[in-house]
Amino acid sequence: MTTTGPGRVGGLLETAGERSRRRARNLQLNEIHVVRFVPGTSPLHRMWAGTKLVALGLLSIALLVWPSWKSIGIVGALVLVAFLAARLPRGISPRLPWWLGGVVAAGAVLALVSGGRPEAHLGSLRLGLGGLGNFMRFSMVGVDVLASAALLGWTTPLADLSPALGRLLGPLRHFRVPVDELVGAIALSIRCLPLLLEEARVLRAARRARRPASPRSFKELGDESVEVVFGALANAIRRAREIAEAIEARGGVPTVAPETHPFARVDALALVISAMAVAAMAVLR
């Protein structure tokens, strides 16, 4: 008969603790850090939030106007340099779900068989290489825009976005545009987004805990997806009602705090680099 001594029990407990800590680290790395601020002292962290918003707007509009591979490369290079300059940890990038690759592959196949010059013939099947190229090009445009927006969220506190928007949209007050109400609505949307993501994560974990062990059909998977979507919408509506009641009880939408961040040299340098990138995209289109 095998006996278990105190040393073996302690080793088993230590192994279980290491496994739990490793699992917790993996879960933390797998979380989607979209609008979560990562503290730092890099030049990108010290930059004014309004400068980052203007640069992001310029590059996004230029990509939509000139969606060429050269423009995609220019924006991708800028995002990569900014990521390295921000000195962000590698674990900050989210691990994409497995089904996203299937969706992209299905879109690529549909674009390939939909046609588009130049074309290739595989027996009686006509393959549109031009359609596949357009699909890949616009997919990379989306990747560049999403990566730029994620970089903005990682290096900018949420509390700094509202004053920056108020300062940028300040001239519209002369045209009687409700800037304060508009900025307040945008600030509430940005602040509530992490809360909604957390509630969706909790709802998904609850559904996973109640998931049966037996294999399910496609109909059951579809019904579960519909239930998750409607559950998330119900939580969002309930949270919006609670926030609206709280705002009404406190006298309406609060005024935006005045902007106190100075405009430094790093802001001017960032705007110059963004303008040069836009000019290069316009010339190399």
Q: Could you tell me if 140 and 271 lie in one domain?
A: yes
Query: Quick check: 16 pLDDT over 80?
Result: no
Q: Could you tell me if 75 and 107 lie in one domain?
A: yes
pLDDT at residue number 25: 47
Q: Could you tell me if 234 and 99 lie in one domain?
A: no
Confidence grade of residue 31 (pLDDT, cut at 50, 70, 90): very low
* Mean pLDDT of all residues in 113-133: 71
CA-based angle 122:128:285, to the nearest 5? 145
SS3 34: coil
Three-state secondary structure readout of 121-156: EECCEEEEHHHHHHHHHHHHHHHHHHHHHHHHHHHC
Higher per-residue confidence, 114 vs 269: 269
In a domain, 213, yes or no: no
In a domain, 15, yes or no: no
Q: Could you tell me if 280 and 152 lie in one domain?
A: yes
Tell me which residue of 184, 194, 161 sits closest to 36, measured CA to CA.
194
Q: Could you tell me if 145 and 119 lie in one domain?
A: yes
**Alpha carbons 202 and 208: distance in angstroms, whole number:** 10
Q: What percent of the chain has pLDDT over 70?
A: 80
In a domain, 22, yes or no: no
Q: Could you tell me if 148 and 268 lie in one domain?
A: yes
Residue with tokens 């917790």: 24
Q: Could you tell me if 146 and 114 lie in one domain?
A: yes
In a domain, 17, yes or no: no
In a domain, 185, yes or no: yes
Q: Could you tell me if 91 and 180 lie in one domain?
A: no
Q: Could you tell me if 57 and 82 lie in one domain?
A: yes
* Structure tokens belonging to residue 155: 């290096």
**Alpha carbons 14 and 232: distance in angstroms, whole number:** 39
Q: Could you tell me if 178 and 122 lie in one domain?
A: no
* Lowest mean pLDDT segment, chosen from 6-10, 62-66, 281-285: 6-10
Chain centroid to Cα 104, Å, comes to: 18
pLDDT at residue number 107: 84
In a domain, 48, yes or no: yes
Residue 230 domain boundaries: 157-208+219-254
Confidence grade of residue 124 (pLDDT, cut at 50, 70, 90): low
For the chain, how many structural domains are there in total? 2
In a domain, 8, yes or no: no
Q: Could you tell me if 163 and 79 lie in one domain?
A: no
As a whole number, the mean pLDDT across the chain is: 79
Q: Could you tell me if 116 and 250 lie in one domain?
A: no
Of 39-53, 203-217, 226-240, which has the strongest mean pLDDT? 39-53
